[in-house]
Amino acid sequence: MLLAKPNLISCNFPTLNSRTSLHPHNPKLTRVSLSPPIPSPSPSRCCFKVPLHAKTNSNAPFPASRKMGLLHVCHTSKKETDIETTQGRDWTTSILLFFLWAALMYYVFFLSPDQTPTRDLYFLKKLLNLKGDDGFRMNEVLVSMWYIMGLRPLAYSMLLLPTGRSSESKIPVWPFLILSCFGGVYALLPYFVLWKPPAPPVEETQLKTWPLNFLESKVTAVISLAAGIGLITYAGLSGDDVWKEFYQYFRESKFIHIMTIDFTLLSTLAPFWVYNDMTTRKWFDKGSRLLPVSLIPFLGPGLYLLLRPSLSTMAISQTPVEPE
């Protein structure tokens, strides 16, 4: 077969399989990156750009087409369904996170202070509005932390969906986010152990459906950040006596002790997920200044969620490319 000036787009394998079939109208074909090929031990693909008006003989392995335009011809050394990454996973981080989670659970159940179980139950009922006004004034710092912890699952959902999803381990993130409404970081850490990037591609149509349309909305980000500012201001304006009382509660109460650790760990882990979301959206060059800000509990990640670009304008959307 005579090919009129075939243009090599990318090729990083030693030989071509002559039995590979040609599918000129396969909707799964995507544009091939022009970046230099990276050698890999796994099977790879070679693509040519062939003018369709070129003359070919009848015995050629590829039938001739008289339609004008360009045809992407791709060969693989194995079937596409058999191509998988064979590189081993580095389990170091996962193992460390697992031991952190196991140590936390052991501390929560066996070592944390539990001097006031009756008072803990009373506080919980008051915070859930299950008790009416009995004249007792709840600690302002405790109230602020309680409601901020209620906003945490929303903030983490906005960071983990969709850019924090796991494609390699195929573990869905939404069950852990739902459990975090009740268990906080103690429910999220098992997902962090199993998480394996990169996140799967996002279709443009998915961004217009629940829950991504809600989580990507700037209105959601504004309301969440405004609520966080109000709650932190309410706690910050409390007097020294209120903070000393809260510290005393922390030393005696299992409920408040565990919640404070939960708040601290979620604040500590948030900058990593901000960084992950930022790099996935290819906004690191412009948004890197927000990384130090994300260290501020709740407000830092909240500000990032408000300023980050929308997924609809980013290149992470990978819809199939029609053949030219």
Report the candidate in 152, 156, 230, 219 with the shortest Cα–Cα distance to residue 192: 156
Reported as a single tens digit per residue, the pLDDT across 176-234 is: 999 999 999 999 999 999 998 888 888 878 888 888 999 999 999 999 999 999 999 99
Residue 55's pLDDT band (cuts 50, 70, 90): very low
Angstrom distance (rounded) from CA 139 to CA 5:
78
Q: Is the pLDDT of residue 60 over 60?
A: no
| Average pLDDT over all residues of the chain | 78
- SS3 sequence of the chain: CCCCCCEEEECCCCCCCCCCCCCCCCCCCCCCCCCCCCCCCCCCEEEEEEECCCCCCCCCCCCCCCCCCEEEEEEECCCHHHCCCCCCCCCHHHHHHHHHHHHHHHHHHHHCCCCCHHHHHHHHHHHCCCCCCCCCCCCHHHHHHHHHHHHHHHHHHHHHCCCCCCCCCCCCCHHHHHHHHHHCHHHHHHHHHHCCCCCCCECHHHHHCCCHHHHCCHHHHHHHHHHHHHHHHHHHCCCHHHHHHHHHHHHHCHHHHHHHHHHHHHHHHHHHHHHHHHHHCCCHHHHCCHHHHCCCCCHHHHHHHHHCCCHHHCCCECCCCCCC
**Contact yes or no for 295/182 (Cβ under 8 A):** no
Instruction: Give pTM, 2 decimals.
Output: 0.69
The partner residues of 76 in beta bridges, in order of sequence, read: 45
Is pLDDT above 90 for 74?
A: no
Per-residue pLDDT at 302 exceeds 90: yes
Question: How open is the CA angle 153-266-110, to the nearest 5 degrees?
Answer: 105
Structure token pair of residue 17 = 């399989």
When pLDDT is cut at 50, 70 and 90, the band that residue 30 belongs to is very low
Q: Is 265 in contact with 130 (CB distance < 8 Å)? A: no
In the numeric block, which tokens belong to residue 64?
């001739």
Q: What is the mean pLDDT of residues 296-311?
A: 94
pLDDT for 243 equals 96
pLDDT of 240 above 80: yes
